[in-house]
C-alpha cells in the first residue's frame, strides 16, 4: 500500500476537520505534508501538533506570526509560511500526491489550478474553482494527467452512480439526466414575505448538515445548489438541460443518475461529509470513515420540485450557466459579497439575490481569455455588489 502525502487547503474548516478525522483512522495510509488556514490560529496549532506536517500556511502575516510563536513554544518542528504564493507552493510540492482543496471562496482558486497543472490527485471541495474557471480548470486536469474527485456529497453520489471508468461521455454511458438532490434548507416551506425577515442565526441553522456559516447561508438561499449545478456541468461534461434539481428534505439520497433505459442509480447514506471524503481518499478502495450506518426502517422519503420564485438564487445560477463567459464568475463573486454582508447584518436575506441579479446585469462585453480576466471580473463584481448593497442600506436608513 503506497502512502498518500496530503496537503489540506482549508484545514480548519468543516471539510478540513472531517478530512483529518478520516486520516487519523488510517495512519498507515496517509501522511500530512501541509495544513493551511486563515484565521483559526488555535485550531491550526492543535492540528499541527497532532499531525506534525512539514509546513503550515496562514494567508495573512499577523496570523502566521502568531501561529509560529505558538508552535515554537510547543516545540513543534512545523515551519510556518504565509500568503498566496505559499498556498501554491504546498499544493504543488513534488512530495505531495493528494490535495484536499477546501478553502471557501475564490481565494483557493489559484492554488487548486496550480495543483491540476502539476498533475496532482485533487479532492475538490472548493466550488469556486469550477464555478469561476470551469473550462480552464478541466483543461488543466486533462492536459496534465491530474485525477479529480468531487467532495460535495451530491457530486460524489453522481461519481459513484456512473459506470466504472466513465470518460466524460454521458451519451456513450447511456445517461439521460443527472439529478442533484437538495434538502431545501431551513426555509423550504417559508413564503417570500417571511424570508424578507430572516436573521443570520436562522439561516445558518441547517436541518441536516453541519457546515460552515457561508455554505449554510448558500444552502438556505439554494445558491449552494445553483453552484453545484454549474459544477456538475464541468465535472461530468453535461449539458445544462441534462442537469436537474430535486428537493429531498431527508438528505438520505444524495443524488441520482437517470439512464435512457429507465434505470435510476442513486447513492444513499447518512448525511455526513466523511463519507464522500473517505470515498475520494480511498478510491478505488472503500475505507472506514467513522460514519454511523443508515437506518431506513420506518423512514419516509419525500421529493419536491424546487420553487425558483421563492428561491431566485437557483434560477440565477441556471441563467449564469446558460450565459457562460463571465457570468458564473460574477454570480459567485456577488454572492460571496452579499452573503458576507448578510452575516454581518449589513443587508437582508432577500437582498442576496437582488445583489446578484444587479451584478449579472453589468457583465463585461468581451469574453474571458484566461484566469487573469476572470479574477478581474471577480474583483469588479465584488466592488459593484458592495456599492449596490451600500446604496440599499442608505435607502433603508
Predicted local distance difference test score (pLDDT) of residue 205: 83
pLDDT tens figures, 341-394? 999 999 999 999 999 999 999 998 888 988 899 989 999 999 999 999 999 888
pLDDT tens figures, 21-71? 999 999 999 999 999 999 899 999 999 999 999 999 999 999 999 999 999
Residue tagged 484565521 (cell numbers): 39
Kindly state whether residues 20 and 106 are assigned to the same domain.
yes
* Total number of domains constituting the chain: 3
Whether 175 maps to a domain, the answer reads: yes
Q: Which domain holds residue 104?
A: 4-150
Looking at 106, 121, 150, the residue that finishes a domain is 150
What pTM was estimated for this model as a whole?
A: 0.92
Kindly state whether residues 119 and 160 are assigned to the same domain.
no
3-state secondary structure of 254: strand
> Residue 222 region, left (φ>0) first, then alpha (ψ -120 to 50), else beta?
left
Predicted local distance difference test score (pLDDT) of residue 365: 81
Kindly state whether residues 9 and 76 are assigned to the same domain.
yes
Give the C-alpha separation, 165 to 7, whole Å: 26
Cα dist. 71→11, 27, 44, 50, 78 in Å?
Answer: 16, 22, 10, 12, 7
Predicted local distance difference test score (pLDDT) of residue 210: 62
Whether 318 maps to a domain, the answer reads: no
Looking at 132, 150, 168, the residue that finishes a domain is 150
- CATH number at 110 reads 3.40.50.720
Kindly state whether residues 260 and 129 are assigned to the same domain.
no
Predicted local distance difference test score (pLDDT) of residue 108: 87
Point out the residues of the chain with pLDDT beneath 50. none
Predicted local distance difference test score (pLDDT) of residue 1: 64
Kindly state whether residues 121 and 259 are assigned to the same domain.
no
Kindly state whether residues 48 and 136 are assigned to the same domain.
yes
Whether 79 maps to a domain, the answer reads: yes
Whether 283 maps to a domain, the answer reads: no
Predicted local distance difference test score (pLDDT) of residue 397: 66
Whether 167 maps to a domain, the answer reads: yes
Give the C-alpha separation, 50 to 394, whole Å: 49
Predicted local distance difference test score (pLDDT) of residue 137: 95
Kindly state whether residues 136 and 172 are assigned to the same domain.
no
C-alpha 57: how far from chain center = 20
Kindly state whether residues 56 and 102 are assigned to the same domain.
yes
Predicted local distance difference test score (pLDDT) of residue 395: 77
Amino acid at each position: 500500500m503506497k502512502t498518500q502525502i496530503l496537503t489540506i487547503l482549508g484545514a480548519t474548516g468543516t471539510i478540513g476537520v472531517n478530512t483529518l478525522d478520516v486520516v487519523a483512522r488510517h495512519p498507515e495510509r496517509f501522511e500530512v505534508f501541509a495544513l493551511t488556514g486563515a484565521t483559526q490560529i488555535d485550531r491550526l496549532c492543535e492540528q499541527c501538533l497532532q499531525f506534525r506536517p512539514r509546513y503550515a500556511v496562514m494567508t495573512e502575516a499577523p496570523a502566521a506570526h502568531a501561529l509560529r510563536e505558538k508552535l515554537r513554544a510547543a516545540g513543534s518542528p512545523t515551519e510556518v509560511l504565509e500568503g498566496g504564493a505559499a498556498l501554491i507552493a504546498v499544493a504543488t510540492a513534488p512530495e505531495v500526491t493528494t490535495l484536499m482543496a477546501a478553502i471557501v471562496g475564490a481565494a483557493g482558486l489559484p492554488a487548486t489550478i496550480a495543483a491540476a497543472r502539476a498533475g496532482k490527485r485533487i479532492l475538490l471541495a472548493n466550488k469556486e474553482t469550477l464555478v469561476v474557471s470551469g473550462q480552464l480548470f478541466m483543461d488543466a486536469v486533462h492536459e496534465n494527467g491530474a485525477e479529480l474527485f468531487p467532495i460535495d456529497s451530491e457530486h460524489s453520489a453522481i461519481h459513484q452512480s456512473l459506470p466504472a471508468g466513465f470518460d466524460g461521455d454521458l451519451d456513450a454511458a447511456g445517461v439521460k439526466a443527472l439529478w442533484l438532490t437538495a434538502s431545501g434548507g431551513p426555509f423550504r416551506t417559508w413564503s417570500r414575505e417571511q424570508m424578507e425577515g430572516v436573521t443570520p442565526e436562522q439561516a445558518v441553522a441547517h436541518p441536516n448538515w453541519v457546515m460552515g456559516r457561508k455554505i449554510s447561508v448558500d444552502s438556505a438561499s439554494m445558491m449552494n445548489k445553483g453552484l453545484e449545478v454549474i459544477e456538475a456541468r464541468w465535472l461530468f461534461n453535461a449539458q445544462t438541460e441534462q442537469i436537474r434539481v430535486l428537493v429531498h428534505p431527508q438528505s438520505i439520497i444524495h443524488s441520482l443518475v437517470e439512464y435512457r433505459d429507465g434505470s435510476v442509480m442513486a447513492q444513499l447514506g447518512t448525511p455526513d461529509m466523511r463519507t464522500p471524503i473517505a470515498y475520494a481518499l480511498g478510491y478505488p478502495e472503500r475505507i472506514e470513515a467513522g460514519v454511523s450506518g443508515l437506518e431506513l426502517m420506518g423512514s419516509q422519503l419525500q421529493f419536491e420540485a424546487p420553487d425558483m420564485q421563492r428561491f431566485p438564487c437557483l434560477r440565477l445560477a441556471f441563467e449564469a450557466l446558460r450565459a457562460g463567459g463571465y457570468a458564473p464568475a460574477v454570480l459567485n463573486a456577488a454572492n460571496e459579497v452579499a452573503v458576507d454582508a448578510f452575516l454581518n447584518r449589513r443587508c437582508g436575506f432577500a437582498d442576496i439575490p437582488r445583489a446578484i441579479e444587479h451584478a449579472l446585469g453589468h457583465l463585461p462585453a468581451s469574453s474571458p481569455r484566461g484566469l487573469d480576466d476572470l479574477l478581474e471580473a471577480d474583483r469588479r463584481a465584488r466592488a459593484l455588489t458592495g456599492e449596490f448593497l451600500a446604496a440599499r442600506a442608505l435607502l433603508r436608513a
